[in-house]
Amino acid sequence: MGAFLLLPKAFMGAFLLSFISICSLLPQSAVGITRHYKFDIKLQNVTRLCHTKNLVSVNGKFPGPRIVAREGDRLLIKVVNHVPNNISIHWHGIRQLRSGWADGPAYVTQCPIQTGQSYVYNYTIVGQRGTLFWHAHISWLRSTVYGPLIILPKRGVPYPFPKPHKEVPMIFGEWFNQDTEAIINQALQTGGGPNVSDAYTINGLPGPLYNCSAKDTFKLKVNPGKTYLLRLINAALNDELFFSIANHTLKVVEVDAVYVKPFETETILISPGQTTNVLLNTKPHFPNATFLMTARPYVTGQGTFDNSTVAGILEYGFPLNGIHSKDLTLFKPILPPLNDTSFATNFTKKLRSLANKEFPANVPQKIDRRFFFTVGLGTNPCKKNNTCQGPNGTMFAASVNNVSFAMPTTALLQAHFFGQSKGVYTPNFPISPIIPFNYTGTPPNNTMVSNGTKLVVLDFNTSVELVMQDTSILGAESHPLHLHGFNFFVVGQGFGNFDPNKDPAKFNLVDPVERNTVAVSPGGWVAIRFLADNPGAWFMHCHLEVHTSWGLKMAWVVLDGKEPSQKLLPPPHDLPKC
């Protein structure tokens, strides 16, 4: 009966009887429907900050179209490539149970879709509801090719919080005046750090704090005394972001499409690859003021970065009584300092799974395999006989356990599925650092990384514990690590070197947050657990795109189980070829 509360009062009165009859016919486990989308990858002229850029877009939209589905639905998304670039699309955070061919990272689960070609991504949303997003997963094309992916609960199933008056996706991005493909290609040539963005954006709009940008401002028009669900998504290329709304409190209710124990905060921290649903209760009466909603980065690295601030405007829509909103007092939020690791730590500590009967936290309690990975930057020798622009004339690199991942030229998943891994990858990714050192102490003299296309192979249903340790080799830095194909539980986090004797005793195995992207603390570590119940080849990488480009990535292969229902399905007939 609780479901009645979800309906607006007028609706309830008029349709109570028919609602009851429909409800009784529809069991909650009703299978979903199939939803068809078409993504035409096209070039589109977009002007921001007085710069016009011919950028890669989906259906001529920037940001791209919104996908809305329900838990249990099947999605069939036909992607047609009309641009000169190769493309592939990733459905970030979707589990892709047995449908790994639809995951999307180029050269991992598929060859890219070439110019003039198309591919139908075909997958079912199983056991997930909340906010996710989709984005290009090749080179830096996700800088303009991204959009929200919203999964509503099954029909008739309420949220575990009061039904909001309205739901509003807000997707953060980074705007570059220059072509981002040129930026990363040049950086990989010179070995130096790539140029930083010119602005941050909310729903593609930089807002009034930039030159020539006031007309490109995201406005959220609200009524007093209502609850709004803001679906926040960080699609920025290289920056974690603080976000706050002046004079309003946010209640966090979900991250990465998993409900959390609600808590209130003035400011949230959101890393690239993460999503956060917050409830915004508007003021009970028209406040005679407007409020900025701002975001700017949380920065731990040593390089240059975009320290600018994106702003949107929260505007109370009525009764204006002849007052123009521009005449109202405008309040600005105070965001934490750019380097506020104390805030970041306190915020992430508050995130806990609901862990109740309806939404249990199925944390693996018994562990089959343990892994310890260092993550961080390093260097490669300068290939040319001149000097490169990385540290001391070298080239910037990044690695996991000192292996800088070399992308194959054919997709890992095909190589695995057809038993043709020879010459594509080797199954010998180091389970711990080959040469242990003081990871967060004085950096070692030798900063050079090794490279290879090395994978970890896991048996089906292996329960995994992975500790990821930041290194201080070129400065301690926060790295938002994203795992494809799984959610994981964040059972522990700390600073300094992980202590395998002392730290596990402090793990939270009761209600740790469950998510798909977690930031390794700068100069610290994070411990995650997951059950390898999804056969396929699964990418894991830093979601700061610059670090991914430098090699901070690796992949897992999860073998088929014995039962037919535990095996990867064969590839679709239209799977792109390399």
Q: Residue numbers of the site for ligand NAG (CB under 6 A)?
A: 43-45, 54, 76, 120, 122, 247, 287-289, 307, 327-329, 331, 337, 339-343, 346, 380, 385, 391-392, 406, 438, 440-442, 445, 447, 451, 474, 569, 572
Q: Which does 542 bind (CB under 5 to 8 A by kind): ligand NAG, Cu ion, none?
A: Cu ion
Closest alpha carbon to 351 in 531, 573, 133, 514:
514
Min separation Cβ 247 and ligand NAG, Å: 4
Q: Which does 565 bind (CB under 5 to 8 A by kind): Cu ion, ligand NAG, none?
A: none
Question: Which residue reads 């997709």 in tokens?
Answer: 411
Rounded Cα distance, 462 and 532, in Å: 5
Q: Which does 43 bind (CB under 5 to 8 A by kind): Cu ion, ligand NAG, none?
A: ligand NAG
Rounded Cα distance, 445 and 59, in Å: 50
Q: Are 267 and 345 in contact (CB under 8 A)?
A: no
Q: Which does 231 bind (CB under 5 to 8 A by kind): ligand NAG, Cu ion, none?
A: none
Nearer of residues 360 and 441 to ligand NAG, judged by Cβ: 441
Residue nearest to ligand NAG (CB): 441
Min separation Cβ 555 and ligand NAG, Å: 17
The number of angstroms, rounded, from the C-alpha of 279 to the middle of its chain's C-alpha atoms is 20
Q: Which does 31 bind (CB under 5 to 8 A by kind): ligand NAG, Cu ion, none?
A: none
Q: Does 184 bind Cu ion (CB under 5 A)?
A: no
Strands, DSSP E only, in 235-309? 240-245, 250-255, 258-265, 267-270, 275-281, 289-298
Q: In this structure, what token pair is assigned to residue 166?
A: 């309205």
Q: Is 250 helix (H, G, I), strand (E, B) or coil?
A: strand
Q: Which residues contact 416 (CB under 8 A, 6 or more apart)?
A: 536, 537, 557
439-455 burial: b if 16+ Cβ within 10 Å, else e: bbeebeeebebbebbbb
Nearer of residues 404 and 534 to Cu ion, judged by Cβ: 404
521-560 residues near Cu ion, rule: CB under 5 A? 542, 544, 547
Min separation Cβ 472 and ligand NAG, Å: 8
Q: Which does 547 bind (CB under 5 to 8 A by kind): Cu ion, ligand NAG, none?
A: Cu ion
Q: Does 135 bind Cu ion (CB under 5 A)?
A: no
Min separation Cβ 277 and ligand NAG, Å: 22
Residues forming beta bridges with residue 269, ordered by sequence position: 242
Q: Are 211 and 199 in contact (CB under 8 A)?
A: no
Q: Contacts with Cu ion: how many residues (CB under 5 A)?
A: 4
Q: Which does 45 bind (CB under 5 to 8 A by kind): ligand NAG, Cu ion, none?
A: ligand NAG
Nearer of residues 29 and 329 to ligand NAG, judged by Cβ: 329
* Alpha helix ranges (H) inside 463-578: 545-550
Min separation Cβ 568 and ligand NAG, Å: 10
Min separation Cβ 121 and ligand NAG, Å: 10
244-283 residues near Cu ion, rule: CB under 5 A? none
Q: Does 479 bind Cu ion (CB under 5 A)?
A: yes
Q: Is the torsion defined by CA of 471, 473, 477, 478 positive or negative?
A: negative
- Cβ neighbourhood burial of 335 (10 Å; 0-12, 13-18, 19+): buried
| Helix, strand, coil share (%) of the chain residues, nearest 5 | 15, 40, 50
Min separation Cβ 554 and ligand NAG, Å: 15
Min separation Cβ 544 and Cu ion, Å: 4
Min separation Cβ 145 and Cu ion, Å: 21
From residue 96, alpha-carbon distances to 78, 86, 287, 515 in Å are: 17, 23, 46, 15
Q: Which does 342 bind (CB under 5 to 8 A by kind): ligand NAG, Cu ion, none?
A: ligand NAG
Nearer of residues 445 and 565 to ligand NAG, judged by Cβ: 445
State the residues that interact with Cu ion by CB under 5 A: 479, 542, 544, 547
